[in-house]
Amino acid sequence: MTLNNFFQPNSCDRRQFITATGVLVVGGLISCSSKHDDTRVDAQQVPQKHIPIPTEPITMRVCVGKMRNRNGFELDGEHIYLTKEGWKYRSSNTLSPEIVDGAMWIHISATHTMIMLEKIKRCTGKISLHPRSDISPHAFDVVVHVPMEEYIPGVIAGELYSHWHPNTFAAQAIAARSYAAAQHLQRKNASHYDVSDGPSSQVFLGDVTLDVAHRAVNETRGVLLTWNNKIVPSYYSACCGGMAAAASDAISSSHLHNIPPLQGRSGNDVCTSLGVHQWTVTRSHRNLKKRLSQWSDTLTSRPLKKMRSIQSIIPVQTNKHGRPIKLEITDRQKNAYNISAKQFVHAANTSFPSIPTPNQRVWSSCLVASRSGLDIELRGVGMGHGVGLCQYGAQALAGKDMSWESILKWYYPSVDIESL
Ligand SMILES: [Zn+2]
């Protein structure tokens, strides 16, 4: 299979992707956040040990806001902020916080409305605010504490389109639960939160009323993906572009990723029959070169420090499924520079204050690029890192009446599906 017809990106958002590729999706869009990418920062903070199956119910700690000044946070109409002297808020009967080791805990078993800058979120239950003096005297993180089975509906309602098939929702619920459980068990003693609420981790909308999401969670309550009696940190992405990625290439080299369910299935995926899987992105050659150089300068080895104007980018190493893991950039002096496909996407999408932000992201690492006048045209397939479940593919399979069990066994080879 030639890569010439493929393109793809990494982190992005599904609405941006649909807009960029000109694909129309019929039906409601619950969330514009989407999937996974290489930008899954939290996902990349990987496990040091294999993760045992939990023996107790898990309450997820979800970071829903990172407040960095005095003005941003409002809880149930109460403006709360942090100064060098401590927490400030208008005294009221509705808020009876407890301060533990500097963190503010608010225990109310009701639905909260939080306003964080432009974002509004409604969540039920306990909230904690954690000072981030490492950033500034005013900075703090907002964390909500949500029992796993109440957390998952808010994830899958944000990760999938509301009109998608119930079996897609059920498969996604199990993948999201296994990913969340793995994150919780790895981070519970190391951080004040397990996951964030955006695509760098997995989307969480807060309390949702979407019926298909609640039904999927009820149908799969307590079900996890395991392998060899350990939890599988089940990464997933929007579209694999037909070629599966291995977690050890696309997420991190942690030994936790060297298990069969995270090596990728063999064989082409059904998502290649969907128009959504291909993309083309045009970048000014100056902008792309500058961005890659700036990224390179952040590394000690500065791998691209001598690179001149970019002429082409081609895959020079692929995994066993045909997905690029290394790209070669050739400049106008015919010098070649190798870079991992994951790093390229990260560099191409990173924001630098001194460089104008491009209109379109590079959607995945499955790409080739060539010079066209003053532009670089990147053509690729897929959206996101390509590890594990492919959301568009899962939806196509569910449309063919495939069960959620079969969908999960296709995307996570050799996986066990266990109900706790
Ligand atoms: Zn796919």
Cα 82 to ligand 1 centre (Å): 45
Cα 395 to ligand 1 centre (Å): 10
**297 and 255 in a common domain:** yes
Cα 92 to ligand 1 centre (Å): 52
Nearest 10 degrees: CA dihedral of 43, 44, 49, 55?
-10
Cα 205 to ligand 1 centre (Å): 25
Which stretches in the chain have pLDDT values below 50? 1-47
Cα 242 to ligand 1 centre (Å): 5
Cα 243 to ligand 1 centre (Å): 7
Residue 198 CA to residue 206 CA, distance in Å, equals: 11
In a domain, 407, yes or no: no
Cα 413 to ligand 1 centre (Å): 14
Q: Strand 367-372 to strand 81-83: parallel, antiparallel, or no bridges (unpaired)?
A: unpaired
- Structural element, H or E, at residue 150: helix 148-159
**63 and 36 in a common domain:** no
Residues 103-109: contacts with CB under 8 Å, at least 24 apart? 103/128, 103/129, 103/130, 103/131, 103/192, 104/80, 104/128, 104/129, 105/129, 106/75
In a domain, 162, yes or no: no
In a domain, 82, yes or no: yes
Cα 335 to ligand 1 centre (Å): 34
In a domain, 156, yes or no: no
Cα 396 to ligand 1 centre (Å): 9
Cα 269 to ligand 1 centre (Å): 5
> Residue 34: is it exposed, middle or buried by C-beta count within 10 angstroms (0-12/13-18/19+)?
buried
140-162 pLDDT per residue, tens: 999 999 999 999 999 999 999 99
* Total domain count, the chain: 2
Q: Contact 17/34 with Cβ under 8 angstroms?
A: yes
Query: Looking at residue 92, what is its pLDDT?
Result: 64
**122 and 25 in a common domain:** no
In a domain, 349, yes or no: yes
Cα 239 to ligand 1 centre (Å): 5
Residue 378 CA to residue 312 CA, distance in Å, equals: 9
Cα 23 to ligand 1 centre (Å): 16
If we measure between CA atoms, which residue out of 357, 341, 348 comes closest to residue 289?
A: 348
Neighbours of 419 (CB within 10 A): 9
Q: Strand 310-318 to strand 8-9: parallel, antiparallel, or no bridges (unpaired)?
A: unpaired
Q: What are phi and psi of 84, to 5 degrees?
A: -65, -25
Cα 134 to ligand 1 centre (Å): 41
**258 and 325 in a common domain:** yes
* pTM of the model as a whole: 0.86
Cα 221 to ligand 1 centre (Å): 26
Query: Looking at residue 3, what is its pLDDT?
Result: 34
Residues 6 or more apart whose Cβ sits within 8 Å of residue 294: 350, 352, 354, 355
**11 and 120 in a common domain:** no
Query: Looking at residue 19, what is its pLDDT?
Result: 38
Cα 389 to ligand 1 centre (Å): 8
Q: Which residues pair with 111 in a beta bridge?
A: 124
Cα 368 to ligand 1 centre (Å): 19
Cα 15 to ligand 1 centre (Å): 18
**308 and 363 in a common domain:** yes
In a domain, 154, yes or no: no
Residue 9 CA to residue 379 CA, distance in Å, equals: 10
| Residue 264, helix vs strand vs coil | coil
Neighbours of 355 (CB within 10 A): 15
**380 and 266 in a common domain:** yes
Domain that holds residue 298: 1-40+235-386
Q: Contact 416/225 with Cβ under 8 angstroms?
A: yes
The two three-digit tokens of residue 171, written as one number: 């498969």
Cα 404 to ligand 1 centre (Å): 15
Cα 68 to ligand 1 centre (Å): 38
Cα 299 to ligand 1 centre (Å): 32
Cα 160 to ligand 1 centre (Å): 15
Angle among Cα 46, 47, 52 to the nearest 5 degrees reads 145
**92 and 34 in a common domain:** no
Residues 6 or more apart whose Cβ sits within 8 Å of residue 53: 224, 226, 229, 230, 231, 418, 420
Angle among Cα 378, 384, 385 to the nearest 5 degrees reads 105
**380 and 268 in a common domain:** yes
In a domain, 225, yes or no: no
Cα 99 to ligand 1 centre (Å): 47
**355 and 260 in a common domain:** yes
**108 and 8 in a common domain:** no
Cα 388 to ligand 1 centre (Å): 9
Cα 381 to ligand 1 centre (Å): 10
**65 and 27 in a common domain:** no
284-299 pLDDT per residue, tens: 999 999 999 999 999 9
Residues 6 or more apart whose Cβ sits within 8 Å of residue 267: none
Cα 167 to ligand 1 centre (Å): 16
Neighbours of 182 (CB within 10 A): 26
Q: DSSP assignment of 193-217, as one string?
A: -SEESSTTS----BS---HHHHHHH
Q: Contact 262/250 with Cβ under 8 angstroms?
A: no
Cα 47 to ligand 1 centre (Å): 26
How many residues can be counted in the chain? 420
Query: Looking at residue 244, what is its pLDDT?
Result: 95
Q: Which residues pair with 83 in a beta bridge?
A: 86
Query: Looking at residue 241, what is its pLDDT?
Result: 94
Q: Look up residue 308 and give its amino acid.
A: R
> Residue 150: is it exposed, middle or buried by C-beta count within 10 angstroms (0-12/13-18/19+)?
middle
| Domain end point (choices 149, 182, 211) | 149
**Three-state SS letters, 386-398:** CECEEHHHHHHHH
In a domain, 221, yes or no: no
Query: Looking at residue 249, what is its pLDDT?
Result: 93
Cα 154 to ligand 1 centre (Å): 23
Cα 277 to ligand 1 centre (Å): 8
> Residue 415: is it exposed, middle or buried by C-beta count within 10 angstroms (0-12/13-18/19+)?
buried
Q: Which residues pair with 312 in a beta bridge?
A: 330, 370
47-76 pLDDT per residue, tens: 456 888 888 899 999 999 999 887 779 998
Query: Looking at residue 20, what is its pLDDT?
Result: 39
